Amino acid sequence: MSNSGLNIIKIGGNIIDDEVLLDSFLEKFAALPGKKILVHGGGKIATRIATDLGIEAKMVEGRRITDEAMLRVVTMVYAGLTNKNIVAKLQVLQCDAIGLSGADGGTIKAIKRPVKDIDYGFVGDILHDSVNTASIKKFLEAGFVPVFSAITHNGLGQLLNTNADTIASALAVGLSSLYDTSLVYCFEKNGVLKDINDEQSVINSIRADEFLQLKEDGVIHDGMVPKLQNAFDAIQKGVRNVYIGHANNLHLFQQGQFGTCLTLK
Protein backbone atom coordinates (compact mmCIF):
# COMPACT_ATOMS: atom_id res chain seq x y z
CA MET A 1 0.00 0.00 0.00
CA SER A 2 1.15 3.52 -0.82
CA ASN A 3 1.89 5.62 2.28
CA SER A 4 -0.05 8.55 0.89
CA GLY A 5 -3.67 9.11 1.72
CA LEU A 6 -6.51 9.37 -0.76
CA ASN A 7 -9.81 11.20 -0.22
CA ILE A 8 -12.82 10.25 -2.35
CA ILE A 9 -15.53 12.91 -2.20
CA LYS A 10 -19.10 12.37 -3.46
CA ILE A 11 -21.44 15.30 -4.17
CA GLY A 12 -25.14 15.05 -4.85
CA GLY A 13 -27.43 16.60 -7.40
CA ASN A 14 -28.65 19.33 -5.05
CA ILE A 15 -25.19 20.98 -5.25
CA ILE A 16 -24.89 20.51 -9.01
CA ASP A 17 -28.30 22.16 -9.51
CA ASP A 18 -27.18 25.31 -7.66
CA GLU A 19 -24.37 27.29 -9.37
CA VAL A 20 -23.50 29.27 -6.21
CA LEU A 21 -23.36 26.15 -4.00
CA LEU A 22 -21.31 24.32 -6.64
CA ASP A 23 -18.74 27.12 -6.98
CA SER A 24 -18.38 27.35 -3.20
CA PHE A 25 -18.00 23.57 -2.84
CA LEU A 26 -15.41 23.31 -5.65
CA GLU A 27 -13.27 26.00 -4.02
CA LYS A 28 -13.17 23.92 -0.84
CA PHE A 29 -12.53 20.71 -2.80
CA ALA A 30 -9.67 22.29 -4.79
CA ALA A 31 -8.05 23.47 -1.53
CA LEU A 32 -7.91 19.91 -0.10
CA PRO A 33 -4.25 18.78 -0.14
CA GLY A 34 -3.05 15.41 -1.40
CA LYS A 35 -4.56 12.84 -3.73
CA LYS A 36 -8.30 13.10 -4.25
CA ILE A 37 -11.16 11.96 -6.47
CA LEU A 38 -14.52 13.65 -6.99
CA VAL A 39 -17.66 11.63 -7.80
CA HIS A 40 -20.78 13.54 -8.81
CA GLY A 41 -24.43 12.63 -9.18
CA GLY A 42 -26.76 13.85 -11.87
CA GLY A 43 -29.12 16.47 -10.53
CA LYS A 44 -32.29 17.61 -12.23
CA ILE A 45 -30.65 18.86 -15.43
CA ALA A 46 -31.12 15.51 -17.21
CA THR A 47 -34.86 15.54 -16.47
CA ARG A 48 -35.17 19.14 -17.73
CA ILE A 49 -33.29 18.41 -20.96
CA ALA A 50 -35.28 15.18 -21.49
CA THR A 51 -38.50 17.20 -21.16
CA ASP A 52 -37.19 19.79 -23.67
CA LEU A 53 -36.50 16.92 -26.10
CA GLY A 54 -39.96 15.42 -25.56
CA ILE A 55 -38.59 12.39 -23.67
CA GLU A 56 -40.60 11.30 -20.64
CA ALA A 57 -38.57 10.84 -17.46
CA LYS A 58 -39.86 7.65 -15.83
CA MET A 59 -39.32 7.04 -12.12
CA VAL A 60 -40.29 4.05 -9.96
CA GLU A 61 -39.98 4.44 -6.16
CA GLY A 62 -37.61 7.39 -6.64
CA ARG A 63 -35.34 5.50 -9.06
CA ARG A 64 -34.88 6.49 -12.66
CA ILE A 65 -35.83 4.06 -15.42
CA THR A 66 -33.11 4.39 -18.06
CA ASP A 67 -34.50 3.37 -21.44
CA GLU A 68 -32.52 3.91 -24.65
CA ALA A 69 -33.67 7.52 -25.11
CA MET A 70 -32.97 8.42 -21.47
CA LEU A 71 -29.53 6.76 -21.61
CA ARG A 72 -28.60 9.14 -24.43
CA VAL A 73 -29.71 12.10 -22.29
CA VAL A 74 -27.98 11.05 -19.06
CA THR A 75 -24.76 10.28 -20.94
CA MET A 76 -24.85 13.73 -22.58
CA VAL A 77 -25.63 15.47 -19.29
CA TYR A 78 -23.72 13.49 -16.65
CA ALA A 79 -20.59 12.54 -18.62
CA GLY A 80 -20.74 15.63 -20.85
CA LEU A 81 -22.31 18.90 -19.72
CA THR A 82 -22.12 18.41 -15.93
CA ASN A 83 -18.76 16.64 -15.84
CA LYS A 84 -16.97 19.09 -18.14
CA ASN A 85 -18.52 22.08 -16.37
CA ILE A 86 -17.04 20.82 -13.07
CA VAL A 87 -13.67 20.07 -14.66
CA ALA A 88 -13.48 23.55 -16.25
CA LYS A 89 -14.33 25.21 -12.92
CA LEU A 90 -11.62 23.17 -11.14
CA GLN A 91 -9.02 24.19 -13.74
CA VAL A 92 -9.69 27.85 -12.84
CA LEU A 93 -8.87 26.90 -9.23
CA GLN A 94 -5.49 25.38 -10.27
CA CYS A 95 -6.83 21.88 -9.63
CA ASP A 96 -5.72 19.73 -12.57
CA ALA A 97 -8.92 17.73 -12.96
CA ILE A 98 -9.63 15.11 -15.60
CA GLY A 99 -13.26 14.19 -16.33
CA LEU A 100 -14.02 10.49 -16.58
CA SER A 101 -16.84 8.04 -17.07
CA GLY A 102 -16.30 4.41 -16.13
CA ALA A 103 -15.56 3.68 -19.81
CA ASP A 104 -12.54 6.03 -19.89
CA GLY A 105 -9.38 4.05 -19.29
CA GLY A 106 -11.66 1.08 -18.57
CA THR A 107 -11.85 2.46 -15.03
CA ILE A 108 -15.24 1.09 -13.89
CA LYS A 109 -17.04 -1.84 -15.45
CA ALA A 110 -20.60 -2.77 -14.46
CA ILE A 111 -23.27 -5.26 -15.44
CA LYS A 112 -26.76 -4.36 -16.64
CA ARG A 113 -29.16 -4.77 -13.74
CA PRO A 114 -31.06 -8.06 -14.11
CA VAL A 115 -34.81 -7.68 -14.64
CA LYS A 116 -36.83 -8.79 -11.62
CA ASP A 117 -40.09 -7.05 -10.66
CA ILE A 118 -39.00 -3.87 -12.45
CA ASP A 119 -36.98 -3.40 -15.63
CA TYR A 120 -34.70 -0.45 -14.86
CA GLY A 121 -33.33 -0.48 -18.40
CA PHE A 122 -29.70 0.49 -18.96
CA VAL A 123 -28.76 0.72 -15.29
CA GLY A 124 -25.42 -0.66 -14.14
CA ASP A 125 -24.73 -2.72 -11.02
CA ILE A 126 -21.15 -2.75 -9.75
CA LEU A 127 -19.39 -6.01 -8.85
CA HIS A 128 -16.52 -6.63 -6.43
CA ASP A 129 -13.95 -6.50 -9.27
CA SER A 130 -15.51 -3.61 -11.21
CA VAL A 131 -12.84 -0.99 -10.42
CA ASN A 132 -9.65 -0.95 -12.50
CA THR A 133 -7.32 0.31 -9.75
CA ALA A 134 -4.18 0.14 -11.95
CA SER A 135 -5.72 2.51 -14.48
CA ILE A 136 -6.92 5.01 -11.84
CA LYS A 137 -3.53 4.88 -10.09
CA LYS A 138 -1.88 6.10 -13.32
CA PHE A 139 -4.06 9.24 -13.27
CA LEU A 140 -3.42 9.86 -9.56
CA GLU A 141 0.33 9.32 -9.76
CA ALA A 142 0.53 11.63 -12.80
CA GLY A 143 -0.92 14.40 -10.62
CA PHE A 144 -4.44 14.45 -12.08
CA VAL A 145 -7.61 14.73 -10.01
CA PRO A 146 -10.16 12.30 -11.50
CA VAL A 147 -13.76 13.58 -11.63
CA PHE A 148 -16.14 10.66 -12.18
CA SER A 149 -19.64 10.98 -13.61
CA ALA A 150 -22.31 8.37 -12.86
CA ILE A 151 -21.83 6.54 -16.18
CA THR A 152 -20.09 3.15 -16.44
CA HIS A 153 -19.74 0.53 -19.20
CA ASN A 154 -20.08 -3.24 -19.47
CA GLY A 155 -16.84 -3.87 -21.38
CA LEU A 156 -18.83 -4.82 -24.50
CA GLY A 157 -19.53 -1.31 -25.75
CA GLN A 158 -22.68 -0.63 -23.72
CA LEU A 159 -22.84 2.46 -21.47
CA LEU A 160 -24.81 2.16 -18.22
CA ASN A 161 -26.37 4.69 -15.84
CA THR A 162 -25.00 3.87 -12.36
CA ASN A 163 -25.73 5.19 -8.86
CA ALA A 164 -23.05 7.73 -7.87
CA ASP A 165 -23.06 6.72 -4.17
CA THR A 166 -22.31 3.15 -5.26
CA ILE A 167 -19.53 4.32 -7.61
CA ALA A 168 -17.89 6.33 -4.79
CA SER A 169 -18.04 3.36 -2.42
CA ALA A 170 -16.66 0.92 -5.04
CA LEU A 171 -13.79 3.30 -5.85
CA ALA A 172 -12.95 3.64 -2.14
CA VAL A 173 -13.00 -0.12 -1.55
CA GLY A 174 -10.95 -0.86 -4.69
CA LEU A 175 -8.33 1.82 -4.08
CA SER A 176 -7.96 1.05 -0.35
CA SER A 177 -5.60 -1.76 -1.42
CA LEU A 178 -3.26 0.93 -2.83
CA TYR A 179 -3.88 3.98 -0.65
CA ASP A 180 -4.98 4.88 2.86
CA THR A 181 -8.48 5.78 1.70
CA SER A 182 -11.24 7.90 3.25
CA LEU A 183 -14.69 8.27 1.69
CA VAL A 184 -16.63 11.52 2.14
CA TYR A 185 -20.34 11.84 1.33
CA CYS A 186 -21.44 15.47 1.02
CA PHE A 187 -25.18 16.03 1.28
CA GLU A 188 -27.60 18.67 2.63
CA LYS A 189 -27.40 17.87 6.37
CA ASN A 190 -24.55 18.70 8.79
CA GLY A 191 -24.09 14.99 9.49
CA VAL A 192 -26.04 12.16 11.10
CA LEU A 193 -28.41 13.94 13.47
CA LYS A 194 -29.73 12.83 16.88
CA ASP A 195 -32.79 14.98 16.15
CA ILE A 196 -33.74 15.32 12.46
CA ASN A 197 -35.19 18.80 13.18
CA ASP A 198 -32.04 20.11 14.88
CA GLU A 199 -29.09 20.73 12.52
CA GLN A 200 -26.80 21.21 15.53
CA SER A 201 -27.48 17.72 16.95
CA VAL A 202 -24.70 16.09 14.90
CA ILE A 203 -23.36 12.76 16.16
CA ASN A 204 -19.61 13.28 15.77
CA SER A 205 -18.66 9.63 15.38
CA ILE A 206 -20.39 6.28 15.10
CA ARG A 207 -18.80 2.84 15.46
CA ALA A 208 -20.30 -0.22 13.79
CA ASP A 209 -21.78 -1.52 17.09
CA GLU A 210 -23.22 1.93 17.92
CA PHE A 211 -24.88 2.06 14.50
CA LEU A 212 -26.87 -1.10 15.30
CA GLN A 213 -27.98 0.41 18.62
CA LEU A 214 -28.96 3.77 17.06
CA LYS A 215 -30.95 1.90 14.42
CA GLU A 216 -32.70 -0.16 17.08
CA ASP A 217 -33.50 3.00 19.09
CA GLY A 218 -35.00 4.61 15.99
CA VAL A 219 -32.47 7.50 16.00
CA ILE A 220 -31.29 6.43 12.54
CA HIS A 221 -34.16 5.52 10.23
CA ASP A 222 -35.58 5.81 6.71
CA GLY A 223 -33.13 6.85 3.98
CA MET A 224 -30.14 7.12 6.34
CA VAL A 225 -30.18 3.39 7.11
CA PRO A 226 -29.05 2.14 3.66
CA LYS A 227 -26.59 5.07 3.37
CA LEU A 228 -24.89 4.13 6.64
CA GLN A 229 -25.15 0.39 5.95
CA ASN A 230 -23.25 0.91 2.68
CA ALA A 231 -20.69 3.06 4.49
CA PHE A 232 -19.99 0.39 7.12
CA ASP A 233 -19.78 -2.27 4.38
CA ALA A 234 -17.05 -0.17 2.72
CA ILE A 235 -15.16 0.13 6.04
CA GLN A 236 -15.31 -3.63 6.55
CA LYS A 237 -13.77 -4.03 3.07
CA GLY A 238 -10.73 -1.88 3.86
CA VAL A 239 -11.77 1.80 3.65
CA ARG A 240 -10.21 3.61 6.63
CA ASN A 241 -13.27 5.68 7.50
CA VAL A 242 -16.35 7.27 5.99
CA TYR A 243 -17.54 10.83 6.64
CA ILE A 244 -21.05 12.19 6.09
CA GLY A 245 -21.65 15.94 6.25
CA HIS A 246 -22.76 19.16 4.57
CA ALA A 247 -21.00 20.22 1.37
CA ASN A 248 -20.68 23.77 2.78
CA ASN A 249 -18.47 22.43 5.58
CA LEU A 250 -15.87 20.56 3.52
CA HIS A 251 -13.22 23.12 4.57
CA LEU A 252 -13.50 21.66 8.12
CA PHE A 253 -12.46 18.19 6.90
CA GLN A 254 -8.72 18.79 7.40
CA GLN A 255 -9.38 19.94 10.99
CA GLY A 256 -11.26 16.71 11.73
CA GLN A 257 -14.46 18.68 12.37
CA PHE A 258 -16.51 17.60 9.36
CA GLY A 259 -19.89 15.96 9.92
CA THR A 260 -20.10 12.41 11.27
CA CYS A 261 -17.13 10.05 11.10
CA LEU A 262 -17.97 6.36 10.74
CA THR A 263 -15.38 3.84 11.92
CA LEU A 264 -15.24 0.11 12.49
CA LYS A 265 -14.37 0.36 16.19
Judge whether 161 is annotated as a binding position: yes
196: Cβ–Cβ under 8 A, 6 or more apart, which residues? none
43 is in an annotated binding site: yes
CA-wise closest residue to 131 among 4, 11, 234, 262: 234
Residue 64 labeled ligand binder: yes
Is 42 marked as binding a ligand? yes
Q: What are the binding residues?
A: 42-43, 64, 161
Residues forming the annotated binding site for substrate? 42-43, 64, 161
